[in-house]
Amino acid sequence: MTHTNSIQELLEAKEGEHIQFKEAKNRFDFEMAAKCCCALANNGGGQLVFGITDKRPRRVVGTSAFNQPERTRMKLIDKLKINIDFRILSYEGKRVLVFDVREHPIGWPVQCGGVAWIYEGDALKPMSENMRRKIYDEAGIDFSGTICAGAKIEDLDETAIDNFRSKWIDKKGKKKLATLSKEQLLHDCGAVTDEGVTYAGLILFGKNQAIRKYLPQAEIIFEYRSSESSGPANQREEFRSGFFACYDRIWELINLRNDKQHYQEGFFVFDIATFNERVVREVILNAVSHRNYPLGGSIFIRQFRDRLVVESPGGLPLGITLDNILDRQLPRNRRIAEILSLCGMVERSGQGMNLIFELSVQEAKPLPDFTGTDDFFVKITLNGLIIDKAMLSVINRISTKCEELLSTEDFLTINALYHGLTLDKKMQSRLKRLIDMGIVEHIGRKKYVLARSLYAAAGKTGVHTRRVGLDRDTNKELLLKHIRQNNAVGTPFKELQQVLPGLSRNQIRVLIRELRNQGEIFPAGRTSGTKWHANK
pLDDT in tens, 410-430: 999 999 998 888 999 889 989
The mean per-residue pLDDT over the stretch 60-67 comes to 95
pLDDT at 52 over 80: yes
126 within some domain = yes
pLDDT at 3 over 70: no
Question: In this structure, are 481 and 398 located in the same domain?
Answer: no
Tens digit of each residue's pLDDT (9 = 90 or more) over 195-209: 999 999 999 999 999
| pLDDT at residue 403 in the model | 60
Alpha carbon distance 354, 348 (integer Å): 10
Strands 46-50 and 19-22, how do they pair?
parallel
Q: Say if residue 11 is exposed, middle or buried (CB neighbours under 10 Å; 0-12, 13-18, 19+).
A: middle
pTM comes to 0.67
pLDDT at 269 over 90: no
pLDDT band for position 487 (cuts 50, 70, 90): confident
Q: For 504, which DSSP code?
A: -
Alpha carbon distance 194, 265 (integer Å): 59
What is the domain-level CATH number for residue 340? 3.30.565.60
Alpha carbon distance 506, 418 (integer Å): 30
Alpha carbon distance 283, 297 (integer Å): 18
Question: In this structure, are 227 and 327 located in the same domain?
Answer: yes
450 within some domain = yes
Question: In this structure, are 352 and 407 located in the same domain?
Answer: no
Question: In this structure, are 221 and 259 located in the same domain?
Answer: yes
Question: In this structure, are 207 and 121 located in the same domain?
Answer: no
pLDDT band for position 444 (cuts 50, 70, 90): low
Q: Say if residue 460 is exposed, middle or buried (CB neighbours under 10 Å; 0-12, 13-18, 19+).
A: buried
Question: In this structure, are 498 and 399 located in the same domain?
Answer: no
The mean per-residue pLDDT over the stretch 120-138 comes to 81
Residue 397, CB half-sphere, CA atoms under 13 Å: how many? Answer: 21
Question: In this structure, are 343 and 416 located in the same domain?
Answer: no
Q: Where is 532: in which H helix or E strand?
A: strand 531-534
Task: Kindly tell me the number of DSSP H helices and DSSP E strands found in the chain.
Answer: 21, 20
Question: In this structure, are 278 and 205 located in the same domain?
Answer: yes
Which of 20-24, 275-279, 484-488 is predicted with the least confidence, judged by mean pLDDT? Answer: 484-488
Query: Would residue 284 be called left, alpha or beta, if left means φ above 0 and alpha means ψ between -120 and 50 degrees?
Result: alpha
Question: In this structure, are 358 and 404 located in the same domain?
Answer: no
Question: In this structure, are 320 and 217 located in the same domain?
Answer: yes
Q: Where is 433: in which H helix or E strand?
A: helix 431-436
Q: Where is 523: in which H helix or E strand?
A: strand 521-524
| pLDDT at residue 467 in the model | 72
- CB count, 10 Å around CB of 163? 21
pLDDT at 264 over 70: yes
pLDDT at 373 over 60: yes
Which of 348-362, 480-494, 510-524 is predicted with the least confidence, judged by mean pLDDT? Answer: 348-362
pLDDT at 193 over 60: yes
Name the domain count of the chain.
4
Question: In this structure, are 32 and 169 located in the same domain?
Answer: no
146 within some domain = no
Q: What is the mean pLDDT of the chain?
A: 88
CA nearest to 18, candidates 111, 102, 88: 102
* Residue length of the chain: 536
Q: Which of 413, 428, 460 is the last residue of a domain?
A: 460
Cβ neighbors of 24 (< 8 A, separation 6 or more) are 50, 51, 63, 65
| pLDDT at residue 139 in the model | 64
| pLDDT at residue 349 in the model | 46
Cβ pair 244, 164 in contact under 8 A: yes
- CB count, 10 Å around CB of 82? 26
143 within some domain = no
The mean per-residue pLDDT over the stretch 509-536 comes to 88
Q: Which of 383, 399, 424 is the last residue of a domain?
A: 383
The mean per-residue pLDDT over the stretch 475-484 comes to 89
| pLDDT at residue 36 in the model | 96
Tens digit of each residue's pLDDT (9 = 90 or more) over 209-253: 999 999 998 999 999 999 888 788 999 999 999 999 999 999 999
Strand, helix or coil at 273?
strand
Annotate 34-73 with DSSP letters as a single string.
HHHHHHHHHTT-EEEEESB-SSSSP-B----S-SSHHHHH
Question: In this structure, are 242 and 306 located in the same domain?
Answer: yes
| pLDDT at residue 319 in the model | 74
What is the domain-level CATH number for residue 495? 1.10.10.10
pLDDT band for position 272 (cuts 50, 70, 90): very high
Burial 349-388 (b: 16+ CB within 10 A, else e): bbbbbbbbbbebbbbbbbebeeeebeeebbebbbbbebbe
Tens digit of each residue's pLDDT (9 = 90 or more) over 92-128: 999 999 999 999 887 778 889 888 999 998 899 999 8
pLDDT at 4 over 90: no
Highest-scoring range by mean pLDDT, 294-298, 318-322, 409-413: 409-413
Q: What percent of the chain has pLDDT over 70?
A: 95
Q: Which of 344, 364, 383 is the last residue of a domain?
A: 383
Domain around 207 = 153-383
Compute the 3-state secondary structure of the chain and give helix, strand, coil in percent, each to the nearest 5. 40, 20, 40
